[in-house]
Amino acid sequence: MQKRKIGSLNVTTAGLGCNNFGWRIDAAATQAVVDAAIDAGINFFDTADMYDTGHSEEYLGRALGARRKDVIVATKFGLKMAEGKEGARPEYIRQAVEDSLSRLGTDYIDLYQLHRPDPNVPIADTLGALDELVKAGKVREIGASNFTAAQISEAEAAAEAAVPKGAARFVSVQNNYSMLHREPEAEVIPECQRLGIALLPYFPLANGLLTGKYRSGQPMPKGSRGDAGWGPKVFTDENLELAGKFAAFAESRGHTLLELAFAWLLAQPTVASVIAGATKPEQVKANAAAVTWQLSQADLQSVG
């Protein structure tokens, strides 16, 4: 599987989102999914401290075991874990990273990401604390999530102004991006291009709508996210119709809608890896296989 850069990190173009670990699948099922990912050549695992209040990190660390050194582990901090345990204050960051390291069963995190901007803390203060963690060897690279282009620019300026020079800077931004949600194209992607920052799309399959199991005019599959009422802004008639058109395009070229969703994202500027979640080994295998399709310029123009 091909690899792309996130700062100094070399990550596979298919990654594994670990948000299902804990609240949707137990430790044994997590082990099976992680094993399948590694067997398929995936080396990039993305989680967060607040996914099932720490259980995702615990299950991931346990599943990796001695293979930890062979993979890239990304996690996030900043969303509320408990009363007083949230945000991007330097003192909280120092606590949050120790908690994550303990749950993951490791002594370093490859990519440590601020889950969302904290309007109450100057970004320079946050970056200063993260730089300390990098210098201490507890974190290799740092990233952000849910940042606007202006916030990305502000963070870059703060890192540039830091003394001494060479302080840690955000090397990635993880935002909502898919064939059905293209907001980052207006400002975030151009800013990432300007600064050499990798983009990590979350919800790359639009809450499952781009997996191919949903069809316009047909009932939602039983037990699916659509059936459970997830993402009402995603499962609209308009999006279902668009997904059908995308599926027809993919099938005309001997591929699935899921493969098109991955290939399309990987054809976009600065996208480093597609980190879709999975609850079963066969889903991981399908995701890993999807990154082999490289779209031509004519394909991209046809998709629109």
What is the spatial distance between Cα 12 and Cα 75, in angstroms, rounded to a whole number?
Answer: 16
For helices 123-135 and 149-161, angle between their N-to-C axes, nearest 10 degrees: 60
Both tokens assigned to 128: 């200063």
Tell me the H-state helices in 69-213: 90-104, 123-135, 149-161, 188-195
CA atoms within 13 A on the CB side of 5: 5
Tell me which of 51, 59, 92, 214 is the catalytic residue.
Answer: 51
Judge whether 92 counts as a catalytic residue.
no
Locate the DSSP E strands across the chain: 3-6, 9-12, 14-17, 44-46, 72-77, 109-114, 139-145, 170-176, 198-202, 274-277
b/e map 162-176, b = 16+ CB within 10 Å: beeeebbbbbbbbbe
* Residues annotated as part of the active site: 51
